[in-house]
Amino acid sequence: RDERIKKTKTVCTYCGVGCSFDVWTKDRKILKVEPQAEAPANGISTCVKGKFGWDFVNSEDRLTKPLIREGDTFREAEWEEALNLVERKFTEIKSEYGPDSLAFITSSKCTNEESYLMQKLARGVIGTNNVDNCSRYCQSPATVGLFRTVGYGGDSGTIKDIEKAGLVLIVGSNTSESHPVLSTRVKRSHKLRGQKLIVADIRKHEMAERADLFVHPKAGSDMVWLSAVTKYIIDKGWTDHDFIQQRVNGFEKYKKSLEPFTLEYAEEATGITRENLIKIAEAIHEAEGTCVLWAMGVTQHIGGSDTSTAISNLLLVTGNYCKPGAGSYPLRGHNNVQGASDFGSMPDRLPGYERIADEKVRAKYEKGWGVKIPEKPGMNNHEMIEGIHAGVLKAMYVKGEEMGLVDSNINHVHAAYEKLDFFVVQDIFFSATAQYADVVLPASPSFEKEGTFTNTERRIQRLYQVFDPLGESKPDWQIIMEVANRLGAGWNYGHPSEIMEEAASLSPIYAGVRYDRLEGYNTLQWPVNADGTDQPLLFADGTFPLPDGKAILYPVQWSKPIDFGDEYDIHVNNGRLLEHFHEGNLTYRSKGISMKTPEIWLEVSPELAEERGIKDGTLVRLTSPYGNVKVKTLVTDRVQGNEVYLPMNDSGEAAVNLLTSSFSDKDTDTPAYKETMAKMEIL
Ligand code: SF4
């Protein structure tokens, strides 16, 4: 065999399903991707992105040297010069305005170890809790809903456990395009094992078409129908009485809070018929276990945390926790959005979700790191943008996050970037965000480094280095360490395993996570005990990580969708396409994908098309109070009435966040991307 041909185990860097596979290479050429039958998340397949989405690694557009701004342009620089500049500016800004004038964003495409180091840099070296990651843009509301009710924010069980459910209820998730391999498991159990499937969504995507029952609630009304179904179940006496008695607090108060949510009220508020509401309640009652899968259709609203809470409440009253084939599955978007939060890149939590406000927790980290940690929670990424506009935040360090395209209301975000005194962007490409930077540091993608990722089911997996870093690019963990050391940190990590060792020594939920336990295709699902035993199924012993071991039924109220006024009469739903990932920085640079889907389109309903004289390919402009996009249309009955669907996969004239607002979930500041209204004109 040609000795230059080698096989390396890695983990997909697209969605949160976290498929593992071997990648076959010859020199820097990628020959094939080969999923292994025993791979934990995916079995024997990948989706199109996992299979063909890797050309970007060798793209000519890769950054291979640091860049320094000179006026309106950039020039290449040596690492020494670029890092000297970062050191000098961070030091000056900290000394003039204090540590809270700096902010740090980690990437949910980077490894756990890199996210750990980014928050350690912010807290332990700079002295600020201004650190966040992109879970703020997606699943933070789900985490809050689960923290409130069951104590852990992760998926209740494994992806395979979903197959054991009698009923899968999918709410606001385009699962077959956003989490393709996971959806394959659901499709298989639905078709072959008689598993019931109910889908609630405003768009008739593939899972909706396959469902036994598909309901189309009015946009932003999920909390209402979920509460009405729960009330109906309670009124019928279909609750799991023993489960509630032994394992749940707050039933009477919660029951009272449901009084307004009658079937009549829900029918009016959501548009779901009384008959269908009853059918959903009956299906849950009759099923041997219900799993609820949800995503951004639930969370990206002003009441996203409350709707997530309502889901968990429903599961609690019906006893759908503590067993396989039941529970909460908030599907994580990016490959490592779970890990970025797990490892402490949040303004109010240290690794393992321990609270920064807890003196004992801070004392533990202060002892471990040998530094003082600030007590005051920091700014989240939404507050950072407002902080820049307010003149409070002066410098930012954004690692691997295309914040300038994926944050909402990007005209407002870009205006903020222009006000920064100093902006460092670390990425593999000269991204839209990098255009506003003062220094751009060239990083290496997953194929060029070692580390671990944590997927949606809390599964920690190792990735191995396939190629050497391209040009002078470096793994993010090395760059962060160099920045930290210039600021006096004295870190000396020789390998990511040493970073993990440190994180595991400080955070109870990773106590037993070690690289030798993660060799090859071995995995661990947190929480992991010191002896290496893990918990694929959360709450398996019937207790919850809450004060008396019991879950909590948490009353919530409905936040009605934002009223943008009659002028804006088109509801702009938005989300993923199967082939592309977010702004498309990776997938448009992967030939096998960009050839198949070179551009996006706006889905318009047949009735709206007829009313406005729109055909396939008509160029339209959508204008919201915040900006406008130009895009061609596709007429399809996947959408209804004045609801259109704009994929998020464009970085130019059709970039969806030119339209979205700065409104956000009231509990987490997750942008209310799904509450976007616009007016439409034909061009
Ligand atoms: Fe990658 Fe997700 Fe596709 Fe798996 S399902 S190959 S993790 S994008």
Q: What are 41-97's pLDDT values in tens digits?
A: 777 789 999 999 999 999 999 999 999 999 999 999 999 999 999 999 999 999 999
Q: What are 522-553's pLDDT values in tens digits?
A: 999 999 999 999 999 999 999 999 999 999 99
Q: What is the structure's pLDDT at 582?
A: 85
Sheet with strand 213-215: strands edge to edge: 213-215, 196-200, 167-171, 290-294, 327-330
Burial class of residue 113 in the structure, from the number of CB atoms within 10 Å of its CB (0-12 exposed, 13-18 middle, 19+ buried): buried
Same domain, 205 and 253: yes
Report the alpha-carbon distance of residue 247 to residue 465 in Å, rounded. 45
Q: Are strands 422-427 and 439-442 parallel, antiparallel or unpaired?
A: parallel
Cα-to-chain-centroid distance, residue 349: 17
Same domain, 352 and 325: no
Same domain, 18 and 49: yes
Q: What is the mean pLDDT of residues 272-291?
A: 98
Residues whose beta carbon lies within 6 Å of some atom of ligand 1: 12, 14-15, 17-19, 42, 46-47, 49-50, 180-181
Same domain, 24 and 75: no
In angstroms, the Cα distances linking 517 to 338, 460, 524, 533 are 20, 10, 8, 10
Report the alpha-carbon distance of residue 421 to residue 188 in Å, rounded. 54
State yes or no: pLDDT of 564 exceeds 90. yes
Atom of ligand 1 nearest to the CA of 11: 7
Q: What is the mean pLDDT of residues 338-349?
A: 94
What is the average pLDDT score of the chain? 96
Same domain, 129 and 146: no
Which residue's alpha carbon is nearest to atom 2 within ligand 1? 15
Q: Is the dihedral of CA 292, 293, 297, 298 positive or negative?
A: positive
State yes or no: pLDDT of 1 exceeds 90. no
Is the residue at 531 inside a domain? no
Q: What is the structure's pLDDT at 138?
A: 87
Is the residue at 160 inside a domain? yes
> How remote is the CA of residue 45 from the centroid of ligand 1, in Å?
9
Is the residue at 533 inside a domain? no
In angstroms, the Cα distances linking 331 to 156, 203, 297 are 11, 18, 11
Q: What are 443-486's pLDDT values in tens digits?
A: 999 999 999 999 999 999 999 999 999 999 999 999 999 999 99
**Domain of residue 578, CATH code:** 2.40.40.20
Among 61, 71, 9, smallest CA distance to 40 is for: 9
Same domain, 580 and 474: no
> How remote is the CA of residue 9 from the centroid of ligand 1, in Å?
15
**Domain of residue 15, CATH code:** 2.20.25.90
Q: Tell me the pLDDT band of 279, cut-offs 50, 70 and 90.
A: very high
Same domain, 303 and 346: no
Is the residue at 171 inside a domain? yes
Same domain, 501 and 581: no
Q: What is the structure's pLDDT at 41?
A: 73
Q: What are 575-628's pLDDT values in tens digits?
A: 988 989 888 898 989 988 898 889 999 999 999 999 999 999 999 999 999 999
Give 120's contacts (C-beta < 8 A, 6+ positions apart).
344, 369, 484
**End of a domain among 307, 331, 355?**
331
Is the residue at 548 inside a domain? no
Q: What are 489-514's pLDDT values in tens digits?
A: 999 999 999 999 999 999 999 999 99
- Contact assessment for residue 165 and residue 290, using Cβ atoms and an 8 Å cutoff: yes
Q: What is the mean pLDDT of residues 228-254?
A: 98
Total structural domains within the chain: 4
Atom of ligand 1 nearest to the CA of 14: 8
- Contact assessment for residue 400 and residue 477, using Cβ atoms and an 8 Å cutoff: no
**Domain of residue 379, CATH code:** 3.40.50.740
State yes or no: pLDDT of 40 exceeds 80. no
Q: What is the structure's pLDDT at 491?
A: 98
Report the alpha-carbon distance of residue 264 to residue 257 in Å, rounded. 16
Is the residue at 608 inside a domain? yes
**End of a domain among 293, 311, 331?**
331
What proportions of the chain, in percent to the nearest 5, are helix, strand and coil?
35, 20, 45
Is the residue at 538 inside a domain? no
Mutate to test the pocket of ligand 1, among 22, 42, 338, 581 (most ligand atoms within 8 A of CB): 42
Global pTM value: 0.96
Domain that holds residue 172: 140-331
Report the alpha-carbon distance of residue 629 to residue 616 in Å, rounded. 17
Which tokens sit at 426? 């670390």
Atom of ligand 1 nearest to the CA of 47: 3
State yes or no: pLDDT of 313 exceeds 80. yes
> How remote is the CA of residue 335 from the centroid of ligand 1, in Å?
8
Beta carbons within 10 angstroms of residue 187's beta carbon: 17
**End of a domain among 276, 309, 331?**
331
Q: What is the structure's pLDDT at 349?
A: 96
Q: Tell me the pLDDT band of 178, cut-offs 50, 70 and 90.
A: very high
Is the residue at 174 inside a domain? yes
Q: What are 326-339's pLDDT values in tens digits?
A: 999 999 988 898 99
Atom of ligand 1 nearest to the CA of 181: 5
Same domain, 359 and 412: yes
ipTM: 0.99
**Radius of gyration in angstroms for the set of CA atoms belonging to the chain, rounded to a whole number:** 24
Same domain, 45 and 82: no
Q: What is the mean pLDDT of residues 640-646?
A: 97
Which tokens sit at 222? 């999920």
Same domain, 84 and 206: no
Q: What is the structure's pLDDT at 519?
A: 96
Report the alpha-carbon distance of residue 578 to residue 502 in Å, rounded. 38
Same domain, 356 and 237: no
